[in-house]
Amino acid sequence: MQEILTSQAAEGMILAHDVMTPEGRVLCGKGTELSANLIDRLERMDITHIAVKGHPVTVPGEKTLKEEIEDLDERFAKVEEILPLMYLKRKLLEKIIAARKG
């Protein structure tokens, strides 16, 4: 899942979360495929951000999944014998990967 600006949305992207009004009403449900008309309507309603499945937009300066995993390995390199910290590392790795899958 990736949160993007509505202006970055493209036809065919799938919503990862419901799009809500400030009052809490659902505008579009999770799983909705974006069309040009829907994107235009969201922009006209001043919806600035949406969450989409996957990781379809490349953000300048953003790390790749491989780079994030390498950073995690480096951070935990000195504590590989400490089991609770290895458990934490595994959980962080799972979260990083899940966030990319959406």
Q: Are residues 46 and 69 in the same domain?
A: no
Does some domain include residue 59?
no
Does some domain include residue 73?
yes
Question: Taking 90 as the threshold, does the pLDDT of residue 1 lie above it?
Answer: no
Does some domain include residue 58?
no
Give the total number of structural domains in the chain: 2
User: What average pLDDT score do residues 45-51 get?
Assistant: 93
User: What average pLDDT score do residues 65-70 get?
Assistant: 93
Measure the CA angle with vertex 70, ends 64 and 76; round to 5°: 140
Mark which of 52, 75, 93 sits at the end of a domain.
Answer: 52
Range of the domain at 69: 65-101
Does some domain include residue 94?
yes
Q: What is the pLDDT, as a whole number, of residue 93? A: 96
Q: Are residues 39 and 79 in the same domain?
A: no
Does some domain include residue 39?
yes
Question: Taking 70 as the threshold, does the pLDDT of residue 102 lie above it?
Answer: no
Between CA 56 and CA 4 the distance in angstroms is: 9
